[in-house]
Amino acid sequence: MNSDIRVRFAPSPTGLLHIGGLRTALYNYLFARRHGGTFILRIEDTDQARYVEEAEQDILESLAWAGLHPDEGPVVISEDEKSSDADAAGGKPRKISKIEYDAGEAGSEGSAVDGDQQSGKTTESTENGTRKANAQTEYKGTFGPYHQSKRRERYAEIARQLVDAGHAYYAFDTVGQIEKMRERLRTADNPVPKYDAQTRMEMRNSLTMDARQMQEMIEEGAEYVVRLKIPAGETIRFDDLVRGPVSFESDGLDDQVLLKADGLPTYHLANVVDDHEMAVSHVIRGEEWLSSAPKHILLYRYLGWEPPSMAHLPLIMSPSGGKLSKRKAEEEGIPVNVRDYRRERYERDAVVNFLALLGWSPGEDREEMTLEEMTSEFSLDRVGKSGAIFDFKKLLWFNEHYMRRRSDEELAGELEMIIQERGLPGAESDVKKLSPQQQALIEDKDFLTGMVSLLKERVSRLPEFLDAGRFFFEPPAEYDEKAVKKGWKEGTADRVARYRDRISALDSASFKAAELKSILSEVIEEEGVGFGKLMMPLRIAVTGSGSGPDLFGALELLGQEEVVRRLDTAIDKLG
C-alpha cells in the first residue's frame, strides 16, 4: 500500500446518501485502489440542527452494498460475516447489522483514540489497526476519531490559534444586525452584501472592539462566532486536477464563519483540520465545493500546512437541464437516494458501472467494466469538466444487461425473498394474504425459475418480474379492454372452446409448449384463419392482456388444469 496516497469520503449525515454522493465515494475509492493508497470514511456530523439519526447507518450500508469498503473509519459488518470487496459482488441483498460505533474523544494529530476503552468496553487490537467494539461493530485506522463531533476541542484550539495570529476574529453580531447591514448596502448590482473586508469594520467584532469590551461580552454570555479574515485585493490560485489552473479574487469572498455559536466548526474549518491531521493527500469532491476552495487554501497558508491536491468533479445534471436535485429527480422518475436503488433491487454492478462513467471515460468507448477493471483504468485526467447528464434509460440498460448475466436460478431465489418480504403486487396481496396455492408456487423453485426464464428479456429490474408475471400467481380478475376489442370477435369463443377441448384431452406428460403450439396450428388450419385469430384470444384468456412472454411456455408452466380453468372462465365472461 502506498502510504502517501490518502483520500477521504466525508458525507454529512443530514439525509439519506444521494446517488451523487455515491459517485464521489466511488471516484475516491478507485483513485485510492489505483495507486495502492488508503480510502478513508469520515462522518462530518457537526450540523446538529440538520442531523438525521438514520443517515449515518444509511451511508455505511450504502457503501457496503456498493462494495466500497473503507480502509479507515466506521465500517459496516453483516450479521453473518464480515463484508469485503469480493463479498459484495452480484448485487445480492445482505442483511446489515446496526452500527453502534463510538469514536471516542478528540485526540492529538495522528493519534488513535479508543472510545471503547474510554467507555469501559472490551476491545481487541488487530494487526491492521482494527478496533472491535462488539460482534456488530468495527472501525479501522489510527487517525481517529472519524466523527467530527468527537473532535470539537481540536477545532476550537485551531480557531483560537487563527485569532491569535490575526487571521480570524470573534464576531458578536446577531442575525438581525447582519440583515440590517445587508438591507442598508443592498443594490441592484449587489443584491446580497457580504460580511467581508468592506463591511467588517462596521460590525460588532473583535476588530472594532477593545479587549475590555470583548471580555465583558464573553463574560456576560454573549454568543459569538469565529470568522476567517479574508485579505483584500488578492488573487488566490491553485491547480485543480480536473479543471487545471483555477483562480479567485479575494474581494469576492465573504469572511467565512469557522466556528459557530454552539462551539462546533463549520465544514470549512473542520475539513481543513481533519484533512491535514489525517494526512489526506488528495481531496476529490463535487464541483459545488469549488467556490469554497480559495478559503481552504487560505486556511492552509495561515496554519502553515501544505494543502492537499484538489479535484472537483463535474455536477450531475438532470436530463431536462440543471443540477439533479431531489425535486428534479422526482419529477423525472429518477431515484435520487442510494437506498431507493437498494430497496428496488437494482443490480449493484450496474449502478457502480453507470456511476463510474458519469463524468469519467476510460477511452476507446468502453462501457461494461467490473470494479477491478475500473480500478486499473481510473485516472483523474480523464474526468470531464462539464456536467454529466444522468441518463436514466442508460442506467436501465446497464441494469438489464447485468441482470440477464445472472442465472435464472439465482434470480428466482431472490424473487422468492422479495415476495416473502413484500407479498405479490396489488393492494390485496400482501404476504399475510397469500393463498395456500400461491404460497406453494412461491416455494416451488422450478416454477419461479421457469417464470424468470420466460420474462427475463422483458423486464429491466428484478421487482418487475412480479408485475409482468402476476398472472402466473392468480387468474386475471378482468381483461384489458383494448385487447378484447381488438382480439375477441364474433366466433372467437367457439374457436377458443375447440382449442380448450383439444388440450384438455392431452395426458399431463404431453402438456408441453411444442405440443400446445402444434395444436393451435391445427385448429387455425381447420378454421381457415390466421395465427392471431386464436393466439390473441388465448393470451387474453390466460393473462388478461394482449401482450406478454412466450404464450406456449407460459401455458406449460401454468399447467393443464389451470389453463383449462382460465379458458372456461374467459369463454363464460367474454362470450
- Give the residue-averaged pLDDT of 547-570: 96
pLDDT for position 91: 36
Q: Cα 278–279–282 angle (5° rounding)?
A: 110
Using the predicted structure, report yes or no on whether residue 251 has a pLDDT greater than 60. Answer: yes
Distance CA 448, CA 427 (A): 22
What mean pLDDT, rounded, does the chain reach? Answer: 87
Using the predicted structure, report yes or no on whether residue 85 has a pLDDT greater than 90. Answer: no
The more confidently predicted of residues 131 and 388 is 388
pLDDT for position 9: 98
CA terminus-to-terminus distance, the chain: 75
- Of all residues in the chain, the percent with pLDDT exceeding 70 is 87
Non-local (6+) Cβ contacts of 521 within 8 A are 531
Confidence of residue 128 (pLDDT cuts 50, 70, 90): very low
Question: Which is catalytic among the residues 326, 445, 489, 573?
Answer: 326
**Strand ranges for 370-522 from DSSP E:** 388-389
Using the predicted structure, report yes or no on whether residue 94 has a pLDDT greater than 80. Answer: no
pLDDT for position 77: 54
Binding positions for ATP: 326
Cell of 454: 420466460
In the residue annotation, 394 being an active-site residue is answered as no
Confidence of residue 82 (pLDDT cuts 50, 70, 90): very low
Longest CA–CA separation in the chain, Å = 109
| Chain centre to alpha carbon of residue 342 | 8
**Strand ranges for 232-345 from DSSP E:** 235-240, 244-249, 257-259, 282-286, 309-313, 316-317
Confidence of residue 104 (pLDDT cuts 50, 70, 90): very low
Q: What is the DSSP letter of 231?
A: P
Which is nearest to 148 in space by CA: 2, 305, 269?
Answer: 269
Cell of 3: 502510504
pLDDT for position 193: 93
- Give the residue-averaged pLDDT of 174-200: 94
Distance CA 29, CA 5 (A): 11
Angle formed by the axes of helices 560-574 and 532-543, nearest 10°: 100
Using the predicted structure, report yes or no on whether residue 269 has a pLDDT greater than 60. Answer: yes
The more confidently predicted of residues 249 and 77 is 249
Note if the bond before 145 is cis, omega within 30 degrees.
yes
pLDDT for position 297: 98
Non-local (6+) Cβ contacts of 227 within 8 A are 168, 169, 170, 171, 195, 200, 205, 255, 256, 257, 258
Cell numbers 438581525 correspond to 176
Confidence of residue 363 (pLDDT cuts 50, 70, 90): confident
Q: What is the DSSP letter of 360?
A: B
**What are the angstrom distances between the C-alpha of 162 and each of 219, 269, 278, 369?**
21, 11, 20, 47
Q: How many other C-beta atoms lie within 10 A of the C-beta of residue 519?
A: 19
Cβ contact 289:252 at 8 Å:
no
- Give the residue-averaged pLDDT of 187-193: 92
The more confidently predicted of residues 364 and 150 is 150
- Give the residue-averaged pLDDT of 144-155: 92
Non-local (6+) Cβ contacts of 290 within 8 A are 240, 243, 246, 312
pTM listed for this prediction: 0.86
Q: Is 320 exposed, middle or buried (CB count within 10 Å of its CB: 0-12, 13-18, 19+)? A: exposed
Using the predicted structure, report yes or no on whether residue 358 has a pLDDT greater than 80. Answer: yes
Binding positions: 326
pLDDT for position 112: 28
Q: How many other C-beta atoms lie within 10 A of the C-beta of residue 64?
A: 21
Distance CA 247, CA 294 (A): 8
Using the predicted structure, report yes or no on whether residue 216 has a pLDDT greater than 80. Answer: yes
Looking at this protein, which amino acid is placed at residue 94? Answer: R
Confidence of residue 76 (pLDDT cuts 50, 70, 90): low
Looking at this protein, which amino acid is placed at residue 528? Answer: G
Cβ contact 165:134 at 8 Å:
no
Q: Is 558 exposed, middle or buried (CB count within 10 Å of its CB: 0-12, 13-18, 19+)? A: buried
CA-CA-CA-CA torsion sign (408, 412, 418, 422): positive
Q: How many other C-beta atoms lie within 10 A of the C-beta of residue 7?
A: 27
Sheet holding 225-228, edge to edge: 168-171, 225-228, 257-259
The more confidently predicted of residues 519 and 433 is 519
- Give the residue-averaged pLDDT of 47-59: 89
Using the predicted structure, report yes or no on whether residue 117 has a pLDDT greater than 70. Answer: no
- Of all residues in the chain, the percent with pLDDT exceeding 90 is 75
Using the predicted structure, report yes or no on whether residue 40 has a pLDDT greater than 80. Answer: yes
Q: Is 512 exposed, middle or buried (CB count within 10 Å of its CB: 0-12, 13-18, 19+)? A: middle
Cell of 499: 382449442
Sheet holding 6-9, edge to edge: 38-41, 6-9, 282-286, 309-313, 235-240, 244-249
Distance CA 67, CA 347 (A): 12
pLDDT for position 134: 33
pLDDT for position 3: 64
